[in-house]
Structure formats: structure tokens, C-alpha cells
């Protein structure tokens, strides 16, 4: 027990709330965390495009295929990233 993939991801651990308990408040439902892929699923970035022309939230990056220098295409960013460092939080691309 506790070794299945569903139990490890918390499947079935949240009790559904009915209408009355959601109106009255009751115990707040625990939000489920978003799954994040393993690093091997991410693509290598070869260049950031339009750095000086467009705002940070609209920048494009050029992606590479895994294990080669062949371009894969473009990805349009929809926001900024925040990295937690020893000196505090820093925004980066």
C-alpha cells in the first residue's frame, strides 16, 4: 500500500466538497501541485530573439533539437521566470 503511482501522486486523497461546505468555508481544499517534467524533456535554447525590441513577456527563443545544433523552431514566452538564489529572487529569461 502506498507504492502505486496513483497513491504517490495523491490520487483519491482529496475529499470532494459539496455546495454547502464550499459556501460556508469549512476546511479549504488542498490544491494539487502541478507536475513538472524531468530535465531531459526540456529543450536547449540557442538564442533569445528580439531582446531590445519587444518587452520581456513577448520575447521569443530559438530552440534546438536534442543532441544536435539543428534548429527546432521558435517558442514565444508568455511571462517571466523567477529564480531563487542565495541573494534573493531574481528575474531572468
pTM of this prediction?
0.32
pLDDT in tens, 1-25: 556 655 555 555 555 566 676 666 6
How many residues in the chain?
93
Best CA proximity match to 63, nearest among 50, 76, 52: 76
Strand partners, 25: none
Output the pLDDT for position 33.
72
pLDDT in tens, 24-62: 665 555 667 766 666 666 666 777 777 788 777 677 777
* Cβ atoms of 75 and 61 closer than 8 Å: yes
Amino acid at each position: 500500500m502506498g507504492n502505486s503511482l496513483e497513491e504517490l501522486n495523491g490520487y483519491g486523497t482529496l475529499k470532494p466538497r459539496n455546495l454547502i461546505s464550499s459556501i460556508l468555508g469549512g476546511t479549504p481544499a488542498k490544491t494539487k501541485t502541478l507536475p513538472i517534467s524531468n530535465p531531459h524533456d526540456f529543450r536547449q535554447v540557442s538564442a533569445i530573439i528580439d531582446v531590445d525590441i519587444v518587452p520581456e513577456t513577448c520575447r521569443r527563443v530559438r530552440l534546438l533539437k536534442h543532441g544536435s545544433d539543428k534548429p527546432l523552431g521558435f517558442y514565444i514566452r508568455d511571462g517571466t521566470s523567477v529564480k531563487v538564489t542565495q541573494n534573493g529572487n531574481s528575474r531572468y529569461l
